[in-house]
């Protein structure tokens, strides 16, 4: 039986979340961008009005303003995007439980057999698009096909607000004329290598000798061949509640520095984000890691096994120890990252040696405090609450 697979891709997601939150941005060229004073001062997402001026993701803000002086920029608000993303996934799961999130702004759905419930594939897609628009004030493009690869390729063909059916029977006409760089999964390196062999279009891959592709690209060559012919049997695998192998955050510092107090402060902010994310998932990690990129771009990563935790305070304390024991004093730091991994479920909490040794009371007290603060933050978006109290605690560490 043929499957019915959708790929729902949100249009200009970050800036659209901002426009939904602040309708004054609507109709104006606007973009989410990092702080112009800092290195991170680049365009992260531009709305379609801004794109008309040629503004693109990763463009430096001042270049963008040259193209469009009236461009409105807003700083990124990842909590807002995560929240909206969850809401989108929630809507999709009303149609089928088989939803696989591919990134913050897109997901595959397996709707095989759902036509009887919801109508033709196009009708179902229209229904999803309207529901997302009505409930969240966001728009999407939807690719419809019999497999994941073609659904993804279809979703790219018409943006914004496009619904595109792309079945195996259509690929010669719709897929093969496209340049190889537009094939899902092909990066710059593969594109270059393919072009070196005079393979410019997706159709050229499809017409290549599969043995030739295999000998030059290994197993991946075989996959390229299959995909270019629209063959993809991979299933839509619903995401488990939490399948991230690690949670990590990093920051490029506004200037290179070895001011340890300053770096500790940055780590505190990162620990707060990582801890918040972990508490939301309900899973505790047993490995805390830091990565340091120095001014000369050399990078070191160090990790430490810890009693299972999702507490900001614990993550922060361990990160500081890693920093202090591993930092090269003679080099300035350019980027600092913090991660939590090796997750176990919340239920195995009782088995934690830490709690037996350190006494349950303290851990529970800290947990209550941090979870309360999470709720306050979720309601009021006040990031400063935790940082202030943590900084005071910091003196005792």
CA-CA distance, 123 to 113, in Å (whole number)? 14
Q: Which is nearer to Mg ion, 16 or 309 (CB)?
A: 16
CA-CA distance, 365 to 217, in Å (whole number)? 55
Taking CB under 5 A as the rule, which mask of x and - marks residues 81-120 in contact with Mg ion? ------------------------xx--------------
Closest chain position to Mg ion (CB)? 106
List of residues 6+ apart from 23 with CB closer than 8 A: none
> How many chain residues interact with Mg ion (CB under 5 A)?
3
What secondary structure letter does DSSP report for 395?
A: T
Q: Which is nearer to Mg ion, 90 or 282 (CB)?
A: 90
Q: Hey, what are 257's tokens?
A: 């520095």
Tell the smallest beta-carbon distance from residue 10 to Mg ion (Å).
7
Q: Is 370 among the residues that bind Mg ion (CB under 5 A)?
A: no
Burial class (CB in 10 A: 0-12, 13-18, 19+), 198: exposed
Among 8, 9, 164, 208, binds Mg ion (CB under 5 A): 9
Tell the smallest beta-carbon distance from residue 7 to Mg ion (Å).
9
Q: Which is nearer to Mg ion, 9 or 146 (CB)?
A: 9
Tell the smallest beta-carbon distance from residue 197 to Mg ion (Å).
29
Cβ–Cβ < 8 Å for 245, 375: no
Tell the smallest beta-carbon distance from residue 276 to Mg ion (Å).
24
Tell the smallest beta-carbon distance from residue 1 to Mg ion (Å).
29
Q: Is 79 annotated in the active site?
A: no
Placement of tokens 């929630």 in the chain: 90
Q: Which is nearer to Mg ion, 103 or 234 (CB)?
A: 103
Pick out residues in 196-235 that bind Mg ion (CB under 5 A): none
Q: Hey, what are 190's tokens?
A: 């593969």
Phi, psi of 6 (to 5 degrees): -115, 150
Helix intervals (H) in 229-359: 260-281, 312-326, 353-358
Tell the smallest beta-carbon distance from residue 13 to Mg ion (Å).
7
What crossing angle do the helices spanning 78-92 and 121-136 adopt, rounded to 10°?
140
Q: Hey, what are 10's tokens?
A: 């949100």
Cβ–Cβ < 8 Å for 17, 30: no
Local structure of 28: helix, strand or coil: coil
Q: Which is nearer to Mg ion, 155 or 317 (CB)?
A: 155
Question: Within 10 Å of residue 98's Cβ, how many Cβ atoms?
Answer: 18
Stretch that binds Mg ion, among 7-15, 71-79, 288-296, 380-388 (CB under 5 A): 7-15
Q: How far is CA 149 from CA 100, 154, 168, 231, 234, in A?
A: 13, 9, 11, 8, 9
Catalytic residue among 106, 156, 272, 277: 106
Asked if omega into 79 is within 30° of 0 (cis), the reply is no
Tell the smallest beta-carbon distance from residue 230 to Mg ion (Å).
21
Q: Which is nearer to Mg ion, 23 or 187 (CB)?
A: 187
Q: What is the CA radius of gyration of the chain?
A: 24
What secondary structure letter does DSSP report for 239?
A: P
Q: Which is nearer to Mg ion, 105 or 232 (CB)?
A: 105
Active site residue ranges: 106
Contacting residues toward Mg ion, per CB under 5 A: 9, 105-106
């Amino acid at each position: 039986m043929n499957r019915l697979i959708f790929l729902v891709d949100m249009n200009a997601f970050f800036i659209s979340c901002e426009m939904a939150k602040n309708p004054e941005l609507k109709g104006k060229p606007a973009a989410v961008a990092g702080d112009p004073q800092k290195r991170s001062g680049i365009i992260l997402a531009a709305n379609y009005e801004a794109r008309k001026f040629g503004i693109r993701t990763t463009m430096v803000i001042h270049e963008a303003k040259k193209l469009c002086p009236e461009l409105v920029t807003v700083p990124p608000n990842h909590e807002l995007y995560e929240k909206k993303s969850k809401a989108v996934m929630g809507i999709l799961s009303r149609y089928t439980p088989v939803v696989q999130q591919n990134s913050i702004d897109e997901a595959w759905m397996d709707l095989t057999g759902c036509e009887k419930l919801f109508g033709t594939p196009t009708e179902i897609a229209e229904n999803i698009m309207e529901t997302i628009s009505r409930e969240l004030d966001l728009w999407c493009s939807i690719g419809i096909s019999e497999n994941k690869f073609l659904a993804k390729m279809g979703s790219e063909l018409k943006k914004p607000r496009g619904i595109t059916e792309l079945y195996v029977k259509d690929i010669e006409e719709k897929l093969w004329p496209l340049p190889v760089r537009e094939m899902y999964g092909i990066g710059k390196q593969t594109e270059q290598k393919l072009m070196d062999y005079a393979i410019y279009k997706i159709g050229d891959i499809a017409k290549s000798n599969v043995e030739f592709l295999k000998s030059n690209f290994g197993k991946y060559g075989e996959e390229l061949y299959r995909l270019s012919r629209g063959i993809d049997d991979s299933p839509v695998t619903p995401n488990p509640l939490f399948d991230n192998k690690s949670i990590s955050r990093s920051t490029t510092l506004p200037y290179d520095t070895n001011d340890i107090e300053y770096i500790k402060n940055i780590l505190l902010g990162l620990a707060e984000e990582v801890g918040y994310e972990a508490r939301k998932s309900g899973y505790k990690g047993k490995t805390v890691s830091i990565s340091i990129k120095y001014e000369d771009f050399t990078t070191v990563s160090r990790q430490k096994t810890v009693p299972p935790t999702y507490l900001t305070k614990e993550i922060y304390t361990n990160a500081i120890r890693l920093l202090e024991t591993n930092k090269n004093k003679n080099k300035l730091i350019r980027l600092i990252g913090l991660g939590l991994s090796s997750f176990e479920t919340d239920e195995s909490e009782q088995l934690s040696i830490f709690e037996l040794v350190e006494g349950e009371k303290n851990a529970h007290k800290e947990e209550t405090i941090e979870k309360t603060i999470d709720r306050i933050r979720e309601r009021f978006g006040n990031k400063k609450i935790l940082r202030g109290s943590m900084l005071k605690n910091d003196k005792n560490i």
